Amino acid sequence: MEDVTRLLTETRRAAPQLAAVADDARNAVLQDLAKNLVARADEIIAANQKDLARMAQDDPRYDRLLLDAVRIQGIADDVAKVATLPAPTGKVLEQRTLDNGLSLSRISVPLGVVGVIYESRPNVTVDVFALCFKAGNAAVLKGGKEADDSNRALMAVIHDTLRAHHLPVALCCLLPAPREATHVLLNAVGLVDICIPRGSQGLIDFVRDTAKIPVIETGAGIVHTYFDASGDVEKGQKIITNAKTRRVSVCNALDTLVVHQSRLQDLPTLLEKLPEKNVEVFADAESHAALAGHYPAHLLHAAQEADFGREFLDYKMSVKTVPDMESALAHIAAYSSQHSEAIVAEDAKAIETFLNRVDAAAVYANASTAFTDGAQFGMGAEIGISTQKLHARGPMALDALTSYKWVIRGNGQTRG
């Protein structure tokens, strides 16, 4: 893997050059990149078709992999949005003068070289570059083999845009697809400052257990919605339908509906729209009895223990019945991945209890978990959704791609 080490070394050497590139100049690069992506959409789609031809259409990853003109326009729009955002570096985060006259300032700075490992999501190639570049970071990308043609087509547009602005293409490199490149990246002490994995729980676990460089986990989304005793049925139906069926292959999709037992009679109405998408429901004994005769028999199954705490990434979901709020909180605490959790309720006390006590990166009241997304949060795009608590949590965008340094100004002070 000498080629991988060479790529990493070139990126490390190129990274400091970004400090001399003004924010206006970075924005111009991103604006041109947005235009170039749309102009070369046919080229990108042709490469994407090669990847799609190697994957079964019923594979849950197929939708994540798919690129078309609409999605490419959306990617370009996100890049253009990033260009309009304030620069996250050079901000004075804190400033004070000590009794001895020293002036202290805490200033935001780039992380340096950011490595991202991802699967089946070619849009990540562009999102990562745009956010890292805007924040003054060089980027090292390691995509999966299933999306390699798509990733390389997108990288070609990025590199051509950098060349047009007389910037080194090494500011963003795409590593070879084989897994061996991942091992080199995770051991690149001194070359890569931080690694962010995006993908399956297996990938996250592997990176966490293997890496010798710092890691920010963007974990799996095991997502719950709790329908409280006070929940509004119309709101609940809309929220559940959207959270489950909008895009099943994304990490903010609903996996488990937790329902108060006093509202079991409303369960058929809450799930009324799901058969239109052939959603399979794995229901516990009480909810199964409430759905029997109302939900299509071929789509209704008795839940097993493994159906809770499961990220389906498919047209499937589980249902858990609880007697009270405490039981709902306990179930979510036991099975949550601390990604996104929601409550549907009209009782203000129930809502505040849920929002205060559920431990997750994003907690919702009366809204779909589908909104857990950097672009939806006004961040332009995202590197990933962090489920850990150190450095960053939730959708990670520009501010999460910075650290800080202390700047001390004196006038000859010495310490006794």
Residue with tokens 């490992």: 117
Residue with tokens 């999102």: 127
Report the distance separating Cα 321 and Cα 408, nearest Å: 58
Q: How confident is the model at residue 198 (pLDDT cuts 50, 70, 90)?
A: confident
Find residue 172's DSSP bridge partners: 139
Own/partner long-range contacts of 52-59 (Cβ < 8 Å, ≥24 apart): 54/146, 55/146
State the amino acid at position 17 in one-letter form. Answer: Q
pLDDT confidence of residue 105: 97
Segment 99-149, tens digit of pLDDT:
999 999 999 999 999 999 998 889 999 999 999 999 999 999 999 999 999
Nearest to 198 by CA among 342, 47, 398, 396: 396
Q: How confident is the model at residue 205 (pLDDT cuts 50, 70, 90)?
A: confident
What average pLDDT is seen over the chain? 94
Report the distance separating Cα 129 and Cα 114, nearest Å: 10
pLDDT confidence of residue 349: 97
> What is the pairing mode between strands 362-365 and 340-344?
parallel
Average of per-residue pLDDT across 87-104? 96
* Least confident window among 216-225, 328-337, 343-352: 216-225
- Count the neighbouring beta carbons within 10 Å of the beta carbon of residue 38: 16
The model's pTM: 0.84
Domains and CATH numbers, the chain: 2-218+383-409 (3.40.605.10), 223-371 (3.40.309.10)
pLDDT confidence of residue 366: 98
Average of per-residue pLDDT across 275-287? 97
